[in-house]
Structure formats: structure tokens, C-alpha cells
Structure 1
């Protein structure tokens, strides 16, 4: 039997109960807010569905946001062929839902050791939310986002409450109203959409946003046949859920297939898709499910014909969402996902058989204050280390920050 220290034994025990590694004490937590916190925890998980999870070690957790007076959400990170990391997210915000969201980008040239000050890639007159990023085989950077008017109901209620002498401070109400009324109602409706921007010079200059048919938090993927595949949802028009493809490096997109619907499900309750291609050319797609059956779980579909047809969504025994999928250099698949119940944080699972079975959870981080966190994405660095980035509303601030974990399989 593997020899472990008492804290490591506790960590294994908590994993088997469905909980994460031991919680940080107050002093270590405060240190994590201002810099790097080494958290070397090595565990070996048990088996699930016949797939064994190897040991893993989390060596660093830190906050990487540079604007602590703003709320950050829903990041995606990618590693370019030249080694540079590109991170995009929704920044400039006051809250989880507000009219101030914008697409921001940071970069790192030392594997996430240091990040640049954020650049604003797009700031529409309504809320710009989830942001995905991909470097294509041609070296083009594609950034995806969607616009939303979800904040309008909050503003309406606040104005009604103000008429009764209660509700928000006058300054906040005036600020939201001023942001909202930058456009007319017709103009706001025309601004709603699912959008993509492209850069052909490594992120120095960007195209105007253009329609990409669907949205999902982490954007499209590159297939080995040269096509780009975008699994997502047409949010504001048909509400279709499925996959689109691009044959021209992401300039234009066309529908390829809608996903089948599981018996008893409402397809409108399928959200936030992401896909990966296995070494054998099989496509694995995961989605966020809000139907009563398996509510709050990740469902999975597969395609054996390049995305033309898909299996019916089915559970894989994973509570948590949404999922980000990558294929590691050794061919294994890795899914990263948020966990919005105890232990609040981010988890990952591995598959050694092309997504047919998944390991027990690897609790990369399990000390969140609550459910306003997650949407992790993961990259594999040149030395095999894994870097996972998510957003999180901390205990000490009303503004969510970007968090980063460095970890490895051992």
C-alpha cells in the first residue's frame, strides 16, 4: 500500500467520501490572495467505471487578476505553438450579471508565472459574457463571446423599488440606467448575438466581431482534418443545440448537426458544450444539463463520423459543470469542471480509453466560499505540468477574481 502522511491519508479519505482535500487555514488563505501558495498534496484516487486515476500533485494556487475592484468571469486559456499562454474572460464587471461586461485578454510568456495587464478586445453597449480562445493550425487566434440583456430584469426591479423609497443606492441605479440607455430598445436587440473575433498577427490587432452561429464558454476546437468544430447553442434565434464547422480557418461557419434529445428531456435545458477529438478520430462532446433527470450533471455524446451524427446524451457519473476537454500528449483525455457544492471548487477527471470511462475526481481546488466559481480550463505545458484557470468569488470581496492552479500527474 502507498505510504502517505496523515494529511495525505485525510485527503484520500475525503476524496472517497466525495469531498476535497483539507481546507486551508485562515493564514494560508490570506496568503493565497496576494501571491503564490504552494500546496503539495499527492493523492491516489480509487476506481470508477473501471478506470484508475493516477496520483497527482497540486504545487501552486494563486490569484492572477490585476483589477481587484472589478468582477471577472468565465475564462478560457490556450497555449500557442510558440509557448505563449493567452487567457480571455469577461472583465470590467460589477457583478455576475450587470451591463458592464467586456472581453479582456492577458498573456504570459513564462507558463503562467507572470501575466500582462489586461487588454480590452471588445466592449459592446450591453453585457459581453463567456469568452473562449483557440489558436488554429494556421496560427490564427479566434476569440468567442456572447452578448446578453439578462441584467435588464435586475434594473427594472431596482427602479420599481426606488419608486417606493427602497432598493439600490441612487448612484448605482443612475450608473446602470446610464449604461442601459446608451442604446435604444431596437439597437439593444440588434446587439444580442453570438460573436467571434480573429487575429492573424498573434493578438496585436483584431477583426470586428462577426456572427459564429453558436456559443459555448470555451469556443471551438481544431480537428486533424483541418476543419474547426464548434459545439454550442444558438442562444437568441432558434435555440438549436449542436455543432457547426468552419472550412476557412474560422471566417465563416455552417451548421453540421443538431444533437439528438434524450427521451423526456427538453433540449432548451442543454447548455455550454465543449468537444475534443481522440487519437482514434472519435469526437467526444460534453454538455451542461438542467433537465430533472441528472440535473446538474455533465452529459456526454460521441460521434464516429466527424460530427455528422451523434449518440444520445447520456450521464457519465459526474456531478459538476461546465466541462472543458483537452487531449494530453500521451493520448489521454482530461475534463476540467466546476463543482458548485461541497467541496466548492474545480475538479478534473482522466480517461485512458477515449472517453468511454472516466476516473474518480481529482480535486484540484476544493476550498471555495460558495457556488459563484468555476468554468475552469486547462492547458498542458511543455514539461507536462498542467495549468488550470477558473474564476471565483472569494470570501473577502464582492468581486470575483481569476485563480490559477499548477499541478501535475505523478
Structure 2
């Protein structure tokens, strides 16, 4: 493999991370990602109310990139990692979990009315849910968040503007999050796999039959292990493969469906160590998983399946990068270009 590295966006005064890439029918590439103000130590999106989603575009298959645009707009801040994709109809979907943010004192008052809040610690991974009055001193920064919901923004002009944004109900689950986009199945419906993002770690899917305007109630995929950040690829008319992150082991877990997502096999651990993953069905019939490698040598790797996910060729695991500094190495995302 010949590797060419290009910087698509850099801002030394910001923390930029968590990209998702899509290739449009006109050949353009879109990358949606998060940008946050610089802090020391830095904060991931769930702890930073000023996180903004940006979309950057290439019209020459990644050789050059334009200036980023806020998506769906500058008023939407404090969001989780975005996913982006184009449908067969040409519409582009941008999907994000959103938080509602309050000054710490306001959140303290509202908590008495039964709302659930999380306060930010002073660094990465130090956020703390408020279970009782005794937890409020855990806050190290002057704000708190609760959940606003899962939202789908729709563009009819290849992601230049966003015509409408609809909320996707996740009930009975409080949350639904994944940084990877929905997959379009044979009948044109969309299947979005998300995680409950709580202590249970339930995976479930949401289905839309009208190109993202409305969504059917959740269908549980897995509740046997604490999993998160699922990614799905279509490998046949009704055959789907799902990979998910398993923090306890660091390995990817896999499930499969042969009926377009109506039912799923039980989650099984793969020999692939690394997370989170992005699944991609290639034009030559192979299935590719690209994932972060969060132990020395820190980097990004990929693995391939020749049989639709039944087996994975770990003997030929592809090391894309092995020179990154630490575990904060981003969420790798992949797309196939016109030359394969």
C-alpha cells in the first residue's frame, strides 16, 4: 500500500477530533468533525459546551480541501461526534447526539425537578453523574449537562446547506449515540445502529422508511455485553455486519444479520484489538475495518474480510500509522476513492 498523508484542517488554537467521511455521487468528499476551544487539559465533546460540528469539503478526491462550514449551523453547540452519509436519493444526512447545557447553579436548581445532570471534571474522562446532593462538589468547571436528544439534519444540495433537522426518538432509552452513519438497505430504508451509552451498554437500531424524516421505535441488537460506538456495513441484499467497541477488553465485538436488521446473532469477540471501528464494504467484495490502536505503538490499523465478516485476516493486519503520541489518536474513518 502506498500512503500519502494530507492535513485536511488544522487550527493550533482549537481541539479538532472525531471525523466521519462520506464520498458523494458527484465525487466530492465531506468530512464532519468536532472543534472545541483549547483547554489544558483538553475536554472531549461530552464535557465541553462550546463544541461545534464542522464540515470540510474536497472537490478533487482529497488532494485539496476548502474552509470548514458549521453544520447544521453556528447555534448548534455542545454536540457529540457526528456521522455523515449520502443516500441513494442524493440527500446528505448529518446525525448527532446533542446535550443541553446549563450554568452550574441553574442545573443545581433544575435537578430538584427530576432532571439528570452530569458535571465536568478538570480533564478527560473525569465527568461525573449527579446521583445525590453530595455529588455537586465534584464539578470542577462552572457548567453541567443533561440530554437533549438524537437529531438528524438533512441537506438536498450536497451538504452546502441544511434544510431541516428532525429529532429521533430513542424511547425507552434515554440516549442513543454512535459516530458512524446509518446504512441503506435493499428496500431503501435506513438502519441506524446506536448505543444506549450508559452502564448497560445496549446496542439498538432505529429504522427510517422516508429518508430520515421519521424513525421507527428501537430494535435491540445486543444487551449481553457493555458495548458502544457501533458501525454497520451491508455485505449482501439483506446481510449486515456490525462491529462495536468493548472497553473492558479492547477487542471489537461482531454481530450479523441475514434479514436486513430484523434479528441479529449474539455478539462475539473478534481477534481484532483496537477501537472504535469504521466498517466499509469495498468494490472488490472485501469488508474493511479501520480502527484506532490505543496501545504502544499507538496508531491506526485496518483488517480485511474476504467472506463478509465470517473470518478476518489478522495475519495481514494493515498498520497505517504506528507513530502517534498517545491514546488520544482520533476516530479513524475511511472511504473508497474512484480508483479503488
Q: Deviations over 1:320-376 (max 9, x none)?
A: 011111111111111111111112111111111000011122011111000001311
Q: Is the 8 A contact 2:200 2:223 kept in 1?
A: no
Which one of 222, 233, 248 corresponds to residue 276 of structure 1? 233
Greater relative contact order structure (CA < 8 Å, 6+ sep): 1
Q: Deviations over 1:178-223 (max 9, x none)?
A: xx4xxxx7xx53x622222111121222145432333211121112
Equivalent in the alignment of 1:154:
121
Q: Pairwise mapping of residues 1-400 of structure 1 onto structure 2 (< 5 A)?
A: 57-94=1-38, 95-97=42-44, 98-121=48-71, 122-123=73-74, 127-148=78-99, 152-154=119-121, 177=142, 180=143, 189=146, 192-212=148-168, 213=170, 214-235=176-197, 240-255=202-217, 257-262=219-224, 265=225, 269-279=226-236, 281-291=238-248, 295-360=249-314, 361-384=317-340
Q: Deviations over 1:132-184 (max 9, x none)?
A: 101001101001112346983226999xxxxxxxxxxxxxx9xx64xx4xxxx
Whole-Å Cα distance in 1 between the matches of residues 335 and 68 of structure 2?
20
Q: CA deviation at 1:272?
A: 0.3
Whole-Å Cα distance in 2 between the matches of residues 237 and 207 of structure 1?
36
CA RMSD of aligned residues (A): 2.6
Whole-Å Cα distance in 2 between the matches of residues 145 and 237 of structure 1?
21
Q: CA deviation at 1:93?
A: 3.4
Q: Is the 8 A contact 1:111 1:381 kept in 2?
A: yes
Q: Is the 8 A contact 2:185 2:237 kept in 1?
A: no
Range moving further from structure 2, 253-262 or 237-246: 237-246
Q: Is the 8 A contact 2:297 2:323 kept in 1?
A: yes
- What is the DSSP-based 3-state SS (H/G/I as helix, E as strand, rest coil) of the residue aligned with 1:192? strand
Whole-Å Cα distance in 2 between the matches of residues 314 and 248 of structure 1?
32
Report the count of equivalent residues: 295
Q: Is the 8 A contact 1:337 1:374 kept in 2?
A: no
Q: Is the 8 A contact 1:73 1:96 kept in 2?
A: no
Q: Is the 8 A contact 2:53 2:77 kept in 1?
A: no
Q: CA deviation at 1:91?
A: 1.2
Q: Is the 8 A contact 1:233 1:242 kept in 2?
A: yes
Looking at CA atoms only, which structure, 1 or 2, has the larger radius of gyration? Answer: 1
Equivalent in the alignment of 2:135:
none
Q: Is the 8 A contact 1:66 1:117 kept in 2?
A: no
Whole-Å Cα distance in 2 between the matches of residues 222 and 232 of structure 1?
15
- Specify every segment of 5 or more residues in structure 2 that has no aligned partner in the other structure, as ranges: 102-116, 128-139, 171-175
- Specify every segment of 5 or more residues in structure 1 that has no aligned partner in the other structure, as ranges: 1-56, 159-172, 385-410
- What is the DSSP-based 3-state SS (H/G/I as helix, E as strand, rest coil) of the residue aligned with 1:254? coil
Q: Is the 8 A contact 2:203 2:223 kept in 1?
A: no
If each structure's helix is expressed as a fraction of its own residues, which one has the higher value?
Answer: 1
Q: Is the 8 A contact 1:256 1:307 kept in 2?
A: no
Whole-Å Cα distance in 2 between the matches of residues 240 and 369 of structure 1?
32
- What is the DSSP-based 3-state SS (H/G/I as helix, E as strand, rest coil) of the residue aligned with 2:309? coil
Q: Is the 8 A contact 2:32 2:54 kept in 1?
A: yes
TM-score (norm 1): 0.67
Q: Deviations over 1:37-59 (max 9, x none)?
A: xxxxxxxxxxxxxxxxxxxx132
TM-score (norm 2): 0.80
